[in-house]
Amino acid sequence: MTTTSSRYQVSIEADPTVPIIRMTRDFDATPAELMRAHTDPELFARWVGPIGMETEILDWDATTGGRWRYVARRDGVEFGFHGCFHEVGDESIVQTFTFDGRRGDVSLQTLRFEDLGDGRTRLHAQSLVDSFEGRDQWLASGMETGVDEGYAKLDTIVAELR
């Protein structure tokens, strides 16, 4: 199945000169609404995890200098993630991100919500990792999560929510 149900597609760029992944994606929402969906733990847990995984927030303080920790679970397998909220502004978030399976690695994530007017917002997300090897592993990790498993399920969830 394809993801043609959405009118907005994400674009991704892996910078050849610095170990950065950049993404942009438009939303039918205001910057304030997008900010809330990123900082309210209950809302965040509903969309962040891969399909088929349950996200449990263990620690959450979405303020400048705050921290976060959550686990994603499926079939008794757990993946933990944690980091700090370095700066939470009105229309931007700067935070660190570490996968507990690779504790020495940390990426710096910058999210910016650009108001496009008419209730639309463009998300600019940038992840800076500490090496090209780390960046390429990050990109490759998408291969292990079984992306083909659940487009049908996703369609159902989206339909139920609407």
Contact pattern from residue 39 through residue 78 relative to other proteins, giving x for each residue in contact according to CB under 8 A and a dash for the rest: ----x--xxx-xx---------------------------
**CA nearest neighbour of 39 among 77, 92, 79:** 92
* 4's tokens: 């043609």
As a whole number of angstroms, the distance between CA 125 and CA 134 comes to 18
Residue 111 binds other proteins (CB under 8 A) = no
As a whole number of angstroms, the distance between CA 17 and CA 139 comes to 16
As a whole number of angstroms, the distance between CA 70 and CA 95 comes to 14
Only segment of 19-27, 63-71, 94-102, 104-112 that touches other proteins (CB under 8 A): 19-27
As a whole number of angstroms, the distance between CA 20 and CA 146 comes to 24
23 or 108: CB nearest other proteins? 23
Which residues are near other proteins by CB under 8 A? 3, 5-6, 8-12, 14, 16-17, 21, 23, 25, 27-29, 33-34, 36-37, 43, 46-48, 50-51, 123, 132, 136, 138-140, 142-143, 145, 147, 150-151, 154, 157-158, 161-162
